[in-house]
Structure formats: C-alpha cells, structure tokens
C-alpha cells in the first residue's frame, strides 16, 4: 500500500469537521473514509456523503461479519469504519483521513502501526461550550451530555502523534496541511511512490 492513513480526532464542537472539509478541498490525492453510523442525519447531511446511515440491526450484522476496521458506541449511537473501504483506497495510492473518535483511533493504530494520529483541541472549555451552543442543532440536554464527555475525550491527546489547537481556523488548517506534506516527503513515502525515479538516479 502506498497511500498514507491519517487519523484525526477531536471532542465534539472543536471544529474538526470544518477543518477536515477545508483540508480535503485544498489538498490533492486526499480523501476521507465515510463511516457508518446509527444516529439520525443532521440538517444538511446526506447518506453516503457525510455518513452511511444505517440501522442498529444492520450495524450489528456488519460487526458479526468482522467488516469493521474499528467501531465504537458514542452518545448512544454506533460509529464504524469498514476495513475494505480504507484498504482499497490505500492500495490505490490515495492518502486517507479517518475522522473518528479516540477509541476508534486506538483500534485502527493496532492494525495500521504507521498511521499518523492527529488530535485537535479547542483553545478553552468556554470556547468549546460556545461552539456547541452556536450550532443550533442539539438540545440543551444533548449539549450538556457532550460537554460532560469532552474532558474524557480530550485527555486522550497524549496518545496521539500531533496536537493541533483550533483557536484560529486558518492557522489550524495550515498546521494540518504541514503534517500531511511532511509525511509525503518522508524517505519511506518517497521510496514507495517514487522508487523508480530514485533507482534511476543510481543506475
């Protein structure tokens, strides 16, 4: 496989989805793996674009078939990434982003030891609360539930390779772009993707 796997994780409301969307729009040969979930679509979300929305029974069937590279239950809903979808992209030489929670990230790291793990943090707890409230998508009860779990999520940052603070959007985006580019320029990646060119230099 010549594609590189990048795992991006953050607590709800940190701006991860917006950053990943812009990262995809400004970076070539980079795609996101679309996860399965049992939660209901939010306003503006489409099946097969943002998630593969599925029933709990269908999700459990896929678990029984060992179809998932990782899966987890978060806030009463299931989320999972199929192994087949990710491996197909990597074999085609495409760099892949997995936008998943920290539990799933650790599961994937066990199977792809060279995956690059990136954790996005908010600049403060107050900023995180404000962002969740400004979404206008969730009830106060749901917001409080997400905030309660956010601290546990954010404490997992020390298990990741890189940490990006999303205080200024443009700066956080630039940080993500640098991480992607630096790994594309690593010796191992250059040998995998440009091996014939390098060999020809010494022929």
Query: Residues forming the annotated binding site for ATP?
Result: 10-17
**What is d(CA 52, CA 33) in angstroms, rounded to the nearest whole number?**
10
**What is d(CA 140, CA 55) in angstroms, rounded to the nearest whole number?**
26
**What is d(CA 65, CA 59) in angstroms, rounded to the nearest whole number?**
10
Q: Residue 95 in 3-state DSSP?
A: strand
Binding residues: 10-17
Q: Is 122 exposed, middle or buried (0-12, 13-18, 19+ CB in 10 A)?
A: buried
**What is d(CA 78, CA 60) in angstroms, rounded to the nearest whole number?**
9
**What is d(CA 70, CA 55) in angstroms, rounded to the nearest whole number?**
17
């Amino acid at each position: 496989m010549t594609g590189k796997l990048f795992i991006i994780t953050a607590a709800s409301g940190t701006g991860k989805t917006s950053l990943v969307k812009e990262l995809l729009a400004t970076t070539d040969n980079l795609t996101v793996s679309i996860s399965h979930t049992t939660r209901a679509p939010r306003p503006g979300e489409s099946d097969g674009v943002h998630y593969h929305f599925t029933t709990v029974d269908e999700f459990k069937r896929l678990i029984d078939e060992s179809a998932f590279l990782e899966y987890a239950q978060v806030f009463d809903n299931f989320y999972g990434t199929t192994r087949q979808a990710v491996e197909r992209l990597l074999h085609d030489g495409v760099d892949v982003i997995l936008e998943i929670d920290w539990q799933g990230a650790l599961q994937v790291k066990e199977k792809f030891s060279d995956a690059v793990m990136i954790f996005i943090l908010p600049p403060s707890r107050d900023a995180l609360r404000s962002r969740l409230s400004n979404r206008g998508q969730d009830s106060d009860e749901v917001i409080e539930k997400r905030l309660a779990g956010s601290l546990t999520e954010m404490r997992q940052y020390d298990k990741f390779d890189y940490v990006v603070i999303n205080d200024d959007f443009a700066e956080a985006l630039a940080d993500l772009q640098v991480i992607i580019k630096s790994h594309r320029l690593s010796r191992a990646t250059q040998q995998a993707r440009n091996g014939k060119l390098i060999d020809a230099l010494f022929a």
